[in-house]
Structure 1
């Protein structure tokens, strides 16, 4: 009874002997909730700041838009955003090369071939699905029907990319895979140009002949750098102990680059705010553009929403049986960066950091597959390009036949591999598709007019496809690793000691004779073999 009373006294009184009522318990509960809220804010501070930067950028652009700023003032407004792009592009070269070398060297040859095959199948399959979806939506929505007077209505400039033969485009893609100068590949890429030469025929008639000539244009040849880094990583793996020092160098370089990325990430919200704000200020007549090209913009963005919000998550769920939206929730920061910068290459540093820290993807997988995906996996670009081709065909009252539709699908899938991961990088690819199906490239000015709108959702879908592909490969790799471990556990050999024929058993096996009084008295020389 006394013990019970003492227990009740302790439960009913505080440290000073005062009674603790419901108010004290409520205070304790409130403190726990406050600590939990602080922990949540601390964990998701960068995500919240990034989303706030996008919202603040829209508000800033809307507020400054009425001030009628000149081009110089707009460039000053965009300066903090320009700094963000420059910092992100600064780390692309070391990040791509070092991550791919260390990633290819850390995976054994069997895993490298298996994961590489799955990655190629995933990239090609999703890009083909994206192209087919865009063509189907183009025929359903018909964005180009009744829009033939748009060029004169909008008064668009005629600055168009030079058209290129389809064969030369694919040859350039192969040439860029094998750069002649590795240093020059860091800032130049190969592109075919044309020169008109005079030819005299036997009858004295003068004809002009278009002759392809090789040129170098400004822009990083990421495709060639990716190929070189992969091959170098495999070669270092083959060297064995002699290549370990160089592998450690690339690993250290890669980790140091990721530290730089961590620092840059905290500047992302500020840069995004000014990037979005300056882009809104630059818009001349958004109402006219949206009303004139609204069906095209709607069809393109709808294709991105369906592919990025339904098809890609379904593929991830079918492969892993895990919630894809929970996976994407940890990637809000790189997705917001993709929306603001319109560059999948510039988004690569933050994507690698977030997918490893928030989603637990193995570094060997993420740093191997994400740089490749940022170069060759362009689902959003395939949707954008196919929709533009169907739009221009409808604009010119051309009914596409099955052969032309097949050409659009194959050309968009193949040419998206070589599309530059920079803003407006896919416009030249549209010119290739139009040349392949025999349509004029004059109407590309309409695509350029709204490219800055559609390019944002295009980039988001591009980087989302890379991330989900890395998640699928990580799941399959972990599953394969567990299966191999299970096989090793099942393959066990139990050696049973045979005291009567001890010479036939392994000397590494411990033998103990059964202890019995009979054997000890009957055979005094029987012994125990113990290592």
Structure 2
């Protein structure tokens, strides 16, 4: 009876389903599509809003340019964007210090050394590749050939820049900043060498001017010193063992709270980006003339960034992980858009850490260990920009670079990009180091400054992309090493269990759980003793 009733119920359900099937299925299909669309918009709301902010900024700048705003009005227009930059800079210090301390403390010393070695090799290798690509493109495209007319005051460009530092002093300053004398001052001051001119009398009665280096403190956070201190402190806390656990938990909690602040700040990014981009477009006096005159230089620089960021870095990621690099890049669209708008790899760091961990499933210990370091020392886009600008200025002055000068450009650009500030236009002044190293005039940097706001956007995008892909490679290698180690232990354990009983005395991996074998092994000596 029950079976008959069940069959009758099924038949009735079938009749109702047959009668209402198409309409119900259509309604269910429409509801599923609507839910899927809502889910997509909810997941990618920040990305869509950020891209919309960039587009709206371009439209706003183009619309307001005709109003002939003065400097004060442009500053007012940029005020919402200035607030965004101030908020992002506000969380840089706790984010860098706390993330590196907790990241270094969570990794054992051996893993820290291995990951640090791989990261250093990746950073130096990709930066050297970027420098070589820029020099090659500079010789192929020849952006400065026939552009000597630009080197005149007629374009209303800034005048000659002050003489830059000596190359040796620049590297010495880099080392000095690694070891700050005052940690509190390192949060807002950095060491820099200045020069004082002294008049000296020679033995022949003539007078000469001598340039004397003088150490000064200038405005700006000493990121390098803070990074080194945070890493060493994290390793020291790990060495303390149980005594350091409380302080490690403090830094972990501080880091998580900072990430919550970052989440709140990121929802303000679309508004800030719109006014940042709009004010930059309004600020330039004659964009058409500059873009036309320096078009080849801009094209060569952006082409180098596209090749390195769109082909070379993804190929390196694919070769190391055998995974789709463009799917990885899809997860970091928001920080890439932020980098394009703000021109600051340091300001992009908070959103980069968040997106890499949540969208690309990178281990927190890896991302918070490597991304703050990469934002300071990994400057692939800056290396391309610096080398291209150097070749452009050499061609502008009709200087044929020889092999020795090209080698000097590659080495100096790779090394000086480490010290490039992660702020807008931070890489322009480091070009002076390369120009001094090969004997070119630094006053031509005024041309680079005129169009830096265009090229610096793709520069920053490539910088942060290299950091993110490096974190993905390190995460993959770390996971692979874990799996290999677990597999090794499983294989050894299985082989050891199958061996003879004498194996139990030599292999700590063998655990006999069979009580019968233990009984036999203990009973056997007794029987032998009775026979004897």
Q: Shorter-chain TM-score: what band?
A: over 0.9
Using a 3 Å threshold, how does the CA distance of structure 1 residues 98 and 20 change in structure 2: closer, same or farther?
A: same
Q: Give the conservation status (yes or no) of the 8 Å contact 2:160–2:444.
A: no
Q: Give the conservation status (yes or no) of the 8 Å contact 1:236–1:247.
A: yes
In the TM superposition, what whole-angstrom CA distance separates every residue of 1:14-34 from its partner, at most 9, and x where no partner exists? 998992042221111111111
Structure 1 or 2: larger helix share?
Answer: 2
* Residue 161 of structure 1: how far off its partner (Å): 4.7
Q: Give the conservation status (yes or no) of the 8 Å contact 1:510–1:530.
A: no
In the TM superposition, what whole-angstrom CA distance separates every residue of 1:68-104 from its partner, at most 9, and x where no partner exists? 2221121111111111000000000000001111111
Take 1:92 and 1:244, find their aligned partners in 2: how far apart are those partners? Answer: 24
Q: Give the conservation status (yes or no) of the 8 Å contact 1:338–1:347.
A: yes
Range moving further from structure 2, 280-289 or 447-456: 280-289
Using a 3 Å threshold, how does the CA distance of structure 1 residues 161 and 6 change in structure 2: closer, same or farther?
A: farther
Take 1:83 and 1:158, find their aligned partners in 2: how far apart are those partners? Answer: 30
* Residue 320 of structure 1: how far off its partner (Å): 0.1
Q: Give the conservation status (yes or no) of the 8 Å contact 1:163–1:431.
A: yes
Take 2:2 and 2:514, find their aligned partners in 1: how far apart are those partners? Answer: 62
Q: Give the conservation status (yes or no) of the 8 Å contact 1:512–1:530.
A: no
Range moving further from structure 2, 459-468 or 277-286: 277-286
* Residue 517 of structure 1: how far off its partner (Å): 20
In the TM superposition, what whole-angstrom CA distance separates every residue of 1:398-428 from its partner, at most 9, and x where no partner exists? 0000000000000000000001011111111
Equivalent pairs, count = 530
Take 1:271 and 1:518, find their aligned partners in 2: how far apart are those partners? Answer: 77
Take 1:456 and 1:529, find their aligned partners in 2: how far apart are those partners? Answer: 90
What secondary structure sits across from 1:16 in the alignment? helix
Q: Give the conservation status (yes or no) of the 8 Å contact 1:511–1:530.
A: no
Q: Give the conservation status (yes or no) of the 8 Å contact 2:496–2:503.
A: no
Take 2:104 and 2:423, find their aligned partners in 1: how far apart are those partners? Answer: 25
RMSD value, Cα: 4.1
Using a 3 Å threshold, how does the CA distance of structure 1 residues 524 and 205 change in structure 2: closer, same or farther?
A: closer
Using a 3 Å threshold, how does the CA distance of structure 1 residues 458 and 499 change in structure 2: closer, same or farther?
A: closer
Take 1:241 and 1:493, find their aligned partners in 2: how far apart are those partners? Answer: 35
In the TM superposition, what whole-angstrom CA distance separates every residue of 1:126-171 from its partner, at most 9, and x where no partner exists? 000000000000000000000001133x121215254111111111
Using a 3 Å threshold, how does the CA distance of structure 1 residues 206 and 504 change in structure 2: closer, same or farther?
A: closer
Using a 3 Å threshold, how does the CA distance of structure 1 residues 501 and 292 change in structure 2: closer, same or farther?
A: closer
In the TM superposition, what whole-angstrom CA distance separates every residue of 1:10-67 from its partner, at most 9, and x where no partner exists? 5675998992042221111111111111111111111111111111111111222222
Using a 3 Å threshold, how does the CA distance of structure 1 residues 12 and 294 change in structure 2: closer, same or farther?
A: farther
Using a 3 Å threshold, how does the CA distance of structure 1 residues 252 and 507 change in structure 2: closer, same or farther?
A: closer
Q: Which residue of 2 aligns with 1:200?
A: 201
Range moving further from structure 2, 56-65 or 468-477: 56-65
Take 2:360 and 2:334, find their aligned partners in 1: how far apart are those partners? Answer: 13
Range moving further from structure 2, 64-73 or 289-298: 64-73
Q: Give the conservation status (yes or no) of the 8 Å contact 2:357–2:367.
A: yes
Using a 3 Å threshold, how does the CA distance of structure 1 residues 287 and 520 change in structure 2: closer, same or farther?
A: closer
Using a 3 Å threshold, how does the CA distance of structure 1 residues 205 and 363 change in structure 2: closer, same or farther?
A: same
**5+ unaligned residues in a row in structure 1: which ranges?**
none
Q: Give the conservation status (yes or no) of the 8 Å contact 1:339–1:456.
A: yes
Q: Give the conservation status (yes or no) of the 8 Å contact 1:512–1:528.
A: no
Q: Which residue of 1 aligns with 2:24?
A: 24
**5+ unaligned residues in a row in structure 2: which ranges?**
none
Q: Give the conservation status (yes or no) of the 8 Å contact 1:163–1:432.
A: yes
Take 1:308 and 1:372, find their aligned partners in 2: how far apart are those partners? Answer: 19
Q: Give the conservation status (yes or no) of the 8 Å contact 1:144–1:296.
A: yes
Q: Give the conservation status (yes or no) of the 8 Å contact 1:511–1:528.
A: no
Using a 3 Å threshold, how does the CA distance of structure 1 residues 352 and 529 change in structure 2: closer, same or farther?
A: farther
Take 2:519 and 2:477, find their aligned partners in 1: how far apart are those partners? Answer: 59
Take 2:61 and 2:531, find their aligned partners in 1: how far apart are those partners? Answer: 83
* Residue 495 of structure 1: how far off its partner (Å): 8.2
Query: What TM-score do the two structures reach when normalised by structure 2?
Result: 0.92
Query: What TM-score do the two structures reach when normalised by structure 1?
Result: 0.92
* Residue 524 of structure 1: how far off its partner (Å): 17
Range moving further from structure 2, 23-32 or 257-266: 23-32
* Residue 253 of structure 1: how far off its partner (Å): 0.7
* Residue 242 of structure 1: how far off its partner (Å): 1.3
